[in-house]
Amino acid sequence: MENISLFIKAFGNYLSLEKGLSKNTVSSYISDINFFVEYLNKKKLDDFGTLTRDDLLGYLENCSDNQMEPTSIARKLVSIKVFFRYLLSEKIIKTDITDVMNSPKLWRVLPDFLTIEEIDKMLDVFAPNSKDPLIIRNRAIIELIYSCGLRVSELVNIQIHDLKFDDAIIKVTGKGNKERIVPVGAKAEKILTKYIQVSRPELLKNNPTQSKIFVSHNGRILTRAMIWNIVKEAARLAGIKKNIYPHTLRHSFASHLLQNGADLRVIQEMLGHADISTTQIYTHVDQNRLKNIIKTFHPRA
């Protein structure tokens, strides 16, 4: 695959310039394709035009064998499908081997989520009366992700003017630059107010013009990797053995709303899902509640 780097670079330009995808989305696609190419190199498969569906299935099985999450495997397949469609349009390949391949339904597995008790344990890691600005910030981060069901990319881009404390809401910019308004829970609002009034000014001593809400110890914008580390460390200190990452808090937000009777359409709106089918995955977490309803109300139960 002598020209592979050129193909991938051209693919990135196509996604960015012709499809208008965001920098982060393009980066995700390119990362997935590079990962795929690494596998092909190891297998000495050096021509996209001669690849078979069995070769691609072998790659997907390899991902599974390496304990990759089903949703991640499904996403990688989507990236490959888009890439092969591009190669076909550019006449780099004659046949698109991915054109009839769909993600198996079994890949739409239930996402990991935390119990309410586990959420409390994670928050208890940060002493509520602490005066340490970083501890206050970290608690505010976890409270806000869980309270509002935010994606990490949404969290890091929230600015001061996006907060409307008088109405207890926050403006969030999600995928495709789509804005939505999300209510902020009372506990999240309380710790966020403390962070903004007490901790944030201290962190911004060397960078007072920063408009993003969450900043590092030297006033710079927090990266997604930093947020990931904060959540991971909180879970570790709380003694939680599950594989926790920031999106787990978003999953927990949706799952707990559903468990307590929230309408699926409302959850869809708050999560910023374009399609209700994406939100419906959370209905599987609620089987116990549904069983209890049947036992209580059905005459044959």
- Return d(Cα 202, Cα 136) in angstroms, integer: 12
DSSP state of 16: I
Q: Which of 81, 139, 247, 251 is the catalytic position? A: 247
CB 224 within 8 A of CB 206: no
Active site residue 139: no
SS3 183: strand
Cβ count within 10 A of residue 234: 22
Q: Which of 151, 200, 251, 256 is the catalytic position? A: 151
Active site residue 175: yes
Active site residue 86: no
Q: Which of 137, 139, 250, 256 is the catalytic position? A: 250
Beta strands, E only, the chain: 163-164, 169-173, 179-183
Phi and psi at residue 182, to the nearest 5°: -125, 135
Active site residue 256: no
Q: Which of 175, 212, 220, 224 is the catalytic position? A: 175
Structure tokens at 136: 């206050």
The CA-based angle 200-233-238, given to 5 degrees, is 110
Active site residue 273: yes
Active site residue 265: no
Which positions are annotated as active-site residues?
151, 175, 247, 250, 273, 282
